[in-house]
Structure 1
Amino acid sequence: MPVSRRSLLTGLAGALAATLPGLDRAYAAALAGASVPMAAAPVRLWLRREGTREEVSAIVRTPDGYNGRDLLLLSWLLRDVGDGSSAVWIDPRLFDLLAAVQGAMSAVHGSAVPLIVTSGYRTPKHNAGLEGAARGSLHLAGRAVDLKAFGYAPDAVAVAGALCGRGGVGIYPNFCHLDIGEARIWGRGRKSPPGQPTPGTPITQPKEPA
């Protein structure tokens, strides 16, 4: 029996909610059940950059393909502002993902939801100086972004990212990480359920039952 796209998304939202305790299940259900049209050209994206107050409203793709001029503007917005404004050409598929996320969230919200970039490309030097940053971070290759959505918790962006993409989704206290690498989901800095230690707490080998 064929499975509808809506049923598939609803199931994925439920799985994500189970993977990440404390997730807003009502929002996840609304997002999965929303009538969001499949992306069609032109694909538009509206980004803001935290700290610099820059803003870009761009057309990622047209019926003829990717829009090089606007991809250049978007790539510059995602430059490493923490290391001399070093910039690289960002993988256009990342902007496809962000456009899909913004479209889905805006459909549920009822109007355009601004996506605010907190970190895009990182130089090797900058990445090495960040506590907890992976050595092979996809930020180094222009294939990852940390962001948040005005008026929404990082969980909400994570749900949209998981429903719209097939890459990595990470939830942090003040932002969500999205990338176009291998599919995986993780959460850091989240509150543990009552009676459970915080993930990352050191432990010792359990004693055998007497």
Structure 2
Amino acid sequence: MPVSRRDLLAGLAGTLAGTLPGLNRAYAAALAGAPVPAAAAPVRLWLRREGTGEEVSAIVRTPGGYNARDLLLLSWLLRDVRDGSSAVWIDPRLFDLLAAVQGAMSAVHGSAVPLIVTSGYRTPRHNAGIEGAARGSLHLAGLAADVKAAGYAPDAVAVAGALCGRGGIGIYPTFCHLDLGQARSWAGGRKRPPAGQPVPGTPITQPKEPT
């Protein structure tokens, strides 16, 4: 039985709600109603790299196949800027996923919304130095990217990722992890408390008795 995109999003929102707190259901509903790009149209992707200021607007593939030149530019953008700018060919399916996420968010936004890459490929040395990073992280194989979109919370990117892909989705305080691995979702890290609320773990001194 065919399932509409709206029904699909409703189901995904329900599935993710337990692991991704704060999911914006209104956003999910709008995303579900976004127009689907024509299958024969070129797949375009607009990425920016946090920290370097680099930007690539590329055609990932055309009806005739992947665009090798632009895949090279995109793969370089996702290099490990923290370890000698080491770079590898990124799986083109990851760019397909990022392009679909960007396209869906842009349709809801009303204009193009670039995705900002905070982490792409990682060298084994870099990955080993990240607290909490998985030993077998898909970043090591060019199968994952951490991204965000200006003006949107990480869970908004996650909803688009759930609609457009079937891999891993992780929400962190300042970015969303997307990968081509097994379908799974999680929330990582501690989100900042509301303004004026003490940060858990901050040292305190014994309070004075009221006078």
| TM-score where L is the length of structure 2 | 0.86
Question: Shift of the alpha carbon at 1:9?
Answer: 2.7
Structure 2 gap segments, 5+ residues each: 192-211
Tell me if structure 1 keeps the 8 A contact 2:5–2:33: no
Question: Shift of the alpha carbon at 1:31?
Answer: 1.0
Question: Shift of the alpha carbon at 1:190?
Answer: 4.8
| Matched ranges for 1:1-210 at <5 A | 1-37=1-37, 39-190=39-190
Q: Secondary structure at the match of 1:185?
A: strand
Tell me if structure 1 keeps the 8 A contact 2:115–2:147: yes
- The letter for the 1-side match of 2:150 is F
Aligned length in residues: 192
Structure 1 gap segments, 5+ residues each: 192-210
Question: Shift of the alpha carbon at 1:6?
Answer: 3.0
| TM-score where L is the length of structure 1 | 0.87
Deviations, residues 76-129 of structure 1 (Å, cap 9, x unaligned): 000000000000000000000000000000000000011000000000000000
Q: Secondary structure at the match of 1:169?
A: strand
- The letter for the 1-side match of 2:162 is A
| Runs of 4+, deviation exceeding 4 Å | none
Root-mean-square deviation (CA), in Å? 1.6
Deviations, residues 37-75 of structure 1 (Å, cap 9, x unaligned): 354431000000000000000000011100000000000
Question: Shift of the alpha carbon at 1:5?
Answer: 3.4
Counterpart CA distance in 1 for 2:173 and 2:186 is 12
Tell me if structure 2 keeps the 8 A contact 1:43–1:99: yes
- The letter for the 2-side match of 1:162 is A
Give the percent of matched residue pairs that are identical in Structure 1 and Structure 2: 87
Question: Shift of the alpha carbon at 1:22?
Answer: 1.5
- The letter for the 2-side match of 1:177 is H
Counterpart CA distance in 2 for 1:8 and 1:156 is 16
